[in-house]
Amino acid sequence: MAHITFESKDIAPFVADHELDEMQPLVTMADQTLRNGTGAGADYTDWIDWPETYDKAEFDRIKKAAQKIKSESKALVVIGIGGSYLGAKMAIDFLHPMFSNELSDEERDGVKIYYAGNSTSASYLNDLIRVLGDQDFSVNVISKSGTTTEPSMAFRVFKQLLEKKYGEEGAKKRIYATTDANVGALHGEAALKNYETFTIPDGIGGRFSVLTAVGLLPIAASGADIDALMQGAADAKNEYTDSDLKKNDAYKYAAIRRILYDKGYTTELLINWEPSMQYLSEWWKQLMGESEGKNQKGIYPSSANYSTDLHSLGQYIQEGRRDLFETVVKLDNPLSNLDLPIEAENNDGLAYLEGKTIDEVNTKAFQGVVMAHVDGGVPNLAVHLPKQDAYTLGYMIYFFEMAVGISGYLFGINPFNQPGVEAYKTAMFALLGKPGYEEQSKVYENRLKK
């Protein structure tokens, strides 16, 4: 029995049972394509078996490095962009109290985690430097090539800060490089300067990399249980093996999404009811968007944070264009709960809620919103998480990874490349005068003058 629960009863008005039956041959074919490695992008499907085949020796080194970071630093700056930080931030936010960085050292399980290299904002870097102040800190720089603009700039900044604070030799001992095993600028620098290094596997793309050293080192340094995280993913791997839609919820989710897409539901909102799960949505958006958005196909991945966004997006979702559907990731048991205080007076009109917990209110709000949105013509799916722990998170990560792998082949595209990502880089490099982009520079400069 699956550890997480996929609920699809609320799509009954939109998808008939026979439509799922008719999808079965296509899903079976997609399953064979994915598992036999005969489809486009097959070189990047090592994530399928990774929860069992991961490098155990490196895994032990990750745990030792995390302990070293915790013993000598108050903070870890994680430098990366896209898949090189979204998975780690998603996991760390999910597994710790909302304001973990603000807790005392005694209350916090690991070091404070900060992120850099995920934008080109100077103000952000200056603000982070100010927050770090005179705290002892280490750096985990994550880049396959070592030349991606945003993290490369941030690494220069924080490497210089480390060298100023600890000297060149001391700085080297506080830099952890997660990069290619054999080639690339960061690999070369790490070898030259003797940084401790961890590997980004060749057969796993960035958006699938959270269960590799890319995500595991910062997650471990935060104090989370990465053994349980990997066990959850391993158990999910064993759960989602049968291509039968009646037995495989990850495949059923992929199939329903495709049926809805063919009916004009081209936008999917991932919904959460916990602020600590906001970055789950950001991780999911990259996973889905980079995997499916090709050849003018694919479901547009968006998100909303309830109940907050019901006060801004709620009107559109209820009565706007009927081209969207919702997938709710509902946490059934949050990290903590709170009783609503009882007051003698009822000035705020909340007496009817006295005796209830805040999470009871949250759950009833979730149920009511689903009913209202379905009545308004918005198909709703739900993924229920029983607990907010590392095992559950690993299980859920694998659920969504497997679903999008199948979904990509159902769309007839390569779900494991991202050719469109390079377009903005070409324009940016040309405008910045990067060597090799001289011809493009003239074109873009002329466009700016018009």
268 is catalytic: no
Catalytic residue among 150, 196, 268, 290: 290
Of 113, 62, 70, which is closest to residue 89 (Cα–Cα)? 113
CB 95, CB 393: distance < 8 Å: yes
CA triplet 8, 14, 20: central angle to 5 degrees?
A: 65
3-state secondary structure of 64: helix
Cis amide linkage into residue 307, ω under 30° from 0: yes
Residue whose tokens read 């980079």:
290
CB 357 within 8 A of CB 334: no
Decide if 158 contacts 165 (C-beta within 8 A). no
Q: Does residue 11 contact residue 17 with C-beta atoms inside 8 Å?
A: no
- Dihedral over Cα of 36, 40, 44, 47: its sign: negative
Measure the CA–CA gap between 401 and 6, rounded to whole angstroms: 15
Cα-based angle 300, 303, 308 (whole degrees, multiple of 5): 155
60, two tokens:
């032990």
Name residue 309's amino acid: D
Give the separation between CA 265 and CA 299, rounded to whole angstroms.
Answer: 8
Phi first, then psi, for residue 207 (nearest 5°) are -75, -10
Beta strands in 109-195 (DSSP E): 112-116, 137-142, 175-179
> 93 is written with which tokens?
């936010």
Q: Catalytic pick from 52, 425, 442, 445?
A: 425
Does the active-site annotation cover 326? Answer: no
Residues 6+ apart with CB under 8 A from 334: 274, 359, 388
Annotated active-site positions, please? 290, 425
